[in-house]
Structure 1
Amino acid sequence: MAQTTVITFYGRSHLSEKALLMFKEIPSFRCYRSIKSVNTLLNALLNCKEYIKIGEMLKNFEKYGTPDVCTFNILMKMCCNRGDLRNARQVFDEMCKRGITPNVVTFGTLINGLCANGELNEAFRMKRVMERDFKLKGTNAFVYVALIKGLCKVDDLLGYIDEMEGKGCKPDVISCNVIIRGLCDDGKLREASELLDDMPRRRCKPDVVSYRIYLDGLCKAMKFKEAAVILHEMVFKGYENFAFI
Structure 2
Amino acid sequence: MMKASKSISPFRLSSLLRNQKDPALALQLFQNPNPDSNPQPQKPFRYSLISYDIIISKLGRAKMFDQMEQILGQMKQQTHLSPPEIIFCNVMSYYGRARLPDRALHLFDEMPSFGCQRTIKSFNSLLDALFKCGKIEKMREVLEGIEDYGTPDACTYNILIKACEGEELDDARNVFDEMRSKGVEPTDVTLVTLIYKLCSVDRVKEALELKEECERVHGVMANAFVYASLMKGLCGIGEMTLAFELKDEMVRKNIRFDAAVYSTLISVLFKAGRRGEVSGLLKEMSEYGCKPNTVTYNAMIHGYCKEKDFEAAYGVLDEMVKEGCRPNAITYNVIIVALCKEGKWSEANLFFQDLPRRGCHPDMLSYRMLFSGLCDCGQFKEAAFILDEMIYKAYAPHYARTHKLVEGLCEEGNMELLGIVLSSLEKANVLDEDTWRVIISTLRKEKPSDVFELIDTLTIQ
TM-score, normalised on structure 1?
A: 0.69
Deviation at 1:31, TM superposition (A): 0.2
| Cα shift readout 1:178-220 (whole Å, capped 9, x = no counterpart) | 98653313453837849x9xxxxxxxxxxx7797499969x95
Tell me the equivalent position of 1:230. Answer: none
Q: Distance in 2 between matches of 1:35 and 1:187?
A: 47
Q: Distance in 1 between matches of 2:207 and 2:286?
A: 21
Query: Within the alignment, does 1:183 sit opposite 2:183 as a pair?
Result: no
Between the aligned residues of both structures, percent identity stands at: 37
Deviation at 1:128, TM superposition (A): 1.3
SS of 2:151's partner is coil
Q: Distance in 2 between matches of 1:174 and 1:192?
A: 23
**5 Å matches for 1:90-129?**
90-129=174-213
| Cα shift readout 1:57-110 (whole Å, capped 9, x = no counterpart) | 11111011100000000001111x344111111100000001111011011111
In structure 2, do the counterparts of structure 1 residues 96 and 7 end up closer, same or farther at CA, with 3 Å as the change threshold?
same
* Larger gyration radius, structure 1 or structure 2: 2
In structure 2, do the counterparts of structure 1 residues 94 and 192 end up closer, same or farther at CA, with 3 Å as the change threshold?
farther
Greater relative contact order, per chain length (Cα 8 Å cut-off, separation 6+)? 1
Deviation at 1:25, TM superposition (A): 0.5
**What letter corresponds to residue 124 of structure 2 in structure 1?**
N
**5 Å matches for 1:171-210?**
173-174=248-249, 182-186=264-268, 188=270, 190=274, 193=277
Query: Within the alignment, does 1:67 sit opposite 2:152 as a pair?
Result: yes
SS of 1:31's partner is coil
Deviation at 1:172, TM superposition (A): 7.7
Query: Within the alignment, does 1:89 sit opposite 2:206 as a pair?
Result: no
Q: Distance in 2 between matches of 1:181 and 1:131?
A: 26
Deviation at 1:135, TM superposition (A): 2.1
Long gaps (5+) in structure 2? 1-85, 252-256, 301-311, 316-461
Deviation at 1:149, TM superposition (A): 4.1
Checking the alignment, whether the CA contact within 8 Å between 1:193 and 1:214 is kept in structure 2 is: no
Tell me the equivalent position of 2:230. Answer: 147
Deviation at 1:137, TM superposition (A): 2.1
Checking the alignment, whether the CA contact within 8 Å between 1:120 and 1:151 is kept in structure 2 is: yes
How many residue pairs get aligned? The number is 201
In structure 2, do the counterparts of structure 1 residues 214 and 131 end up closer, same or farther at CA, with 3 Å as the change threshold?
same
Tell me the equivalent position of 2:91. Answer: 6
Q: Distance in 2 between matches of 1:210 and 1:132?
A: 32
Q: Distance in 2 between matches of 1:126 and 1:149?
A: 16
In structure 2, do the counterparts of structure 1 residues 13 and 172 end up closer, same or farther at CA, with 3 Å as the change threshold?
closer
Tell me the equivalent position of 1:42. Answer: 127
Q: Distance in 1 between matches of 2:126 and 2:119?
A: 11
Q: Distance in 2 between matches of 1:101 and 1:107?
A: 11
More displaced stretch, 129-138 vs 42-51: 129-138
In structure 2, do the counterparts of structure 1 residues 145 and 26 end up closer, same or farther at CA, with 3 Å as the change threshold?
farther
CA RMSD between the two structures = 3.5
Q: Distance in 2 between matches of 1:171 and 1:12?
A: 35
Checking the alignment, whether the CA contact within 8 Å between 2:231 and 2:246 is kept in structure 1 is: no
In structure 2, do the counterparts of structure 1 residues 182 and 157 end up closer, same or farther at CA, with 3 Å as the change threshold?
farther
**What letter corresponds to residue 172 of structure 2 in structure 1?**
A
